[in-house]
Structure 1
């Protein structure tokens, strides 16, 4: 058995390679709109298609307890191979909007065997310091999500299809690395059969419910922010002609800096506690939502970019901490299923927020619409605060 310190970098690299499939379509969205004559609101629809595919995938994986019944590394490999194949399918020239949506849906479906399964693999290796380990892992997800924007910027003179070919190739490599170098972890407790009651059963634990609801509030904001970062940059440029932004590169930086925040948050949580650290990060991202109109009105380009960079950090810093708390408050034999279930519901919420924001943008060009993203963090903060207060009261009573 390989030493755990050797295992973590392999999991992180594999996760980074495979999650580059997630926003591969977003990275080339301008080219897709031109080549396939799509509507301007195609970004929201294609992003939601990936999210919906991920939701359906996590639902199937959770109901069949796949991540607990089978070797997680093998599940990861199969999902990486199929996800990369459907991602690559976009390079075909005869697409309609329906076929593009179908391919992005199927890519999202098999991401359900990558992201939560990667966290399950990490949880099978690390019990102490799980928050720090998942910080690195979610950081890899963030960089993987941002990577297509960087590829688009770097591949300026190359066809847009090169972005899709490279992300699919990386996903295949990531799957092979995982299956060959990461055996089943020492803390893995295999599930013996499909458990269709697991979906509802995990929510019987009050502490689990609290952190899950906190995560759901976080997810309302997260993917909508990521999806609309390029739109925010373009919107600011139109309102401030002096702002000459390199949108793909800045999008990569604003999203990608969140990977560093995940790692930093993991280290802070070791001293301050995962729940307290997650609460503070969620509170800060809520503040960014509410203050966003002020920064859109600023004539200082650097101030606006700095604000988005800070928002890009706090919007994701709590994500690995919530996953840590979910894993810690689930039964050992249902740990993978619990992570998958929470992801399933959380990503369902992202579709609502993305589509809601897309609809609003067709009705108004007001910069105040991004304050609506604060709804989720407020809900999440309330769930965490109520549980913390109730726990404190119970300790005093006992």
Structure 2
């Protein structure tokens, strides 16, 4: 890989980290927003799910029209990040729940032009051995998604609006970096005419769809874990130490999701490039499924055991994510790789809407001790799919 490729990775990763701070920017201050909008606490799940809803709509339209394969992906990223920054900033100006939720959905719509597009840009810069490169990219995504938990440690006690303003400024900086600092990859950019055949080529590609099935199982677990783990830790720790500071829980949440997840992505990329994507994804999903089954039983008991399992879960729940994208970029023809990535993420995030909202329903029925077992269903299904995919990977 050239020096320019690693330089591009640096700028793409930094831009991704900043732009994805929009994802959980409202969720971490969800209680303050619900009070401002005069909504009951059970609407918090829908506040978390509003961004995935918008992302799914945006990703579906993007994959249907082949946007990422018809236009310069760098420009798509920059415009999307700028739009997301402005939409997110709108939260400080509204007092209506309807307008607020609408802005969150539209923010998710804008992010559909950021995440999958960044993967395509990176695949252009890294034509081979891209597992580590995309792993580093997903690590920045993970850190970016968890960044509001770090920001809230400093600003929430002063004014919740500063959390929103900070994430919007980060996304705005992301747009500037991609538009004016990052260069286009040294590959020809062809403007493909619109054709529904691009999407048909994705669904007719058997190894590609096996990778997608693995990704769908992975996504059933991932964002529900990211959304509800901090709430689980808060409830568990408060039951033992009512005086525990919120910033301590925010730091643990950031460490479990952002730091541990970022480390997992980089190590996962190294392992996948050397030993194969299917092996890494199978290992990751087996460990993450085990953590989802076990962590609930620490509720109200050992804080240190909860933190330990949360960190292990944080590492393995995301360590395979980049490899599903890398596999798509390798098994999809160059003419429709952008459409394939966007389609994969569209369905994956549609699944997260269900899993995010099903957790509080079952938590009221079975309690925190048992509820995360539901999430193990996804990685177990994903393991089965990636075992079937192995023969295609070995024959490639």
Q: In the alignment, which residue of structure 1 is the partner of 2:79?
A: 78
Q: Deviations over 1:59-83 (max 9, x none)?
A: 1111111111111111111101111
Could you say which residue in structure 2 is the equivalent of 1:365?
Answer: 367
> Where does residue 302 of structure 1 map in the other structure?
304
CA distance in 1, matches of 2:188, 2:212: 22
Report the Cα distance in structure 1 between the residues aligned to 2:196 and 2:183, rounded to whole angstroms. Answer: 27
Name the residue aligned to 1:124. 124
Instruction: Report if the CA contact (8 A) 1:237-1:243 is conserved.
Output: no
Alignment partner of 1:384 is 2:386: yes
- Deviating more after overlay: 184-193 vs 238-247: 238-247
Gaps of 5+ in 1: none
Aligned positions of 1:15-164 closer than 5 A? 15-95=16-96, 97-164=97-164
Distance in 1 between the 2:103 and 2:302 partners? 41
Cα contact 1:295–1:307 (8 A) shared by 2: no
Task: Report the more deviating stretch, 283-292 or 241-250.
Answer: 241-250
Q: Show CA shifts across 1:229-284 (max 9, x none).
A: 22111221244237836222221111102011101111112221122111111111
| CA distance in 2 between partners of 1:79 and 1:252 (Å) | 25
> Unaligned stretches of 5+ in structure 2?
none
Contact 1:217 1:378 in 2 (8 A): yes
Q: C-alpha separation between the residues in 2 aligned to 1:355 and 1:164? A: 23
- Normalised to the residue count of structure 1, the TM-score between the two structures is 0.94
CA shift, 1:191, in A, is 4.2
Residues 124, 188 of structure 1: 8 Å contact kept: no
Q: What is the TM-score of this pair, normalised by structure 2?
A: 0.94
SS in 1 for 2:41: coil
Whole-angstrom CA distance in 2 between matches of 1:106 and 1:22: 11
1:293 to 2:296 alignment: yes
* CA distances 1:141-175 after superposition (whole Å, capped 9, x unpaired): 10110001110111144211011111111111111
For residues 268-322 of structure 1, give each alpha carbon's deviation from its aligned partner in whole angstroms, at most 9, with x where no partner exists.
122211221111111111111122233336x331111011011011000000011
Partners of 1:277 and 1:379 in 2: how far apart?
15
Mapping of residues 133-212 of structure 1, within 5 Å: 133-187=133-187, 189-212=189-212
Q: Which stretch has the larger CA shift, 76-85 or 38-47?
A: 38-47
Equivalent pair of 2:281/2:386 in contact (CA under 8 Å):
no
What count of residue pairs does the alignment treat as equivalent?
A: 392
Is residue 258 of structure 2 the alignment partner of residue 279 of structure 1? no
The CA deviation at 1:188 is 5.2
Q: Give the equivalent residue in structure 2 for 1:349.
A: 351
Counterpart secondary structure, 2:317: helix
**Correspondence for 2:9:** 8
Matches of 1:58 and 1:346 in 2, distance apart? 10
Shift of 1:356: 1.2
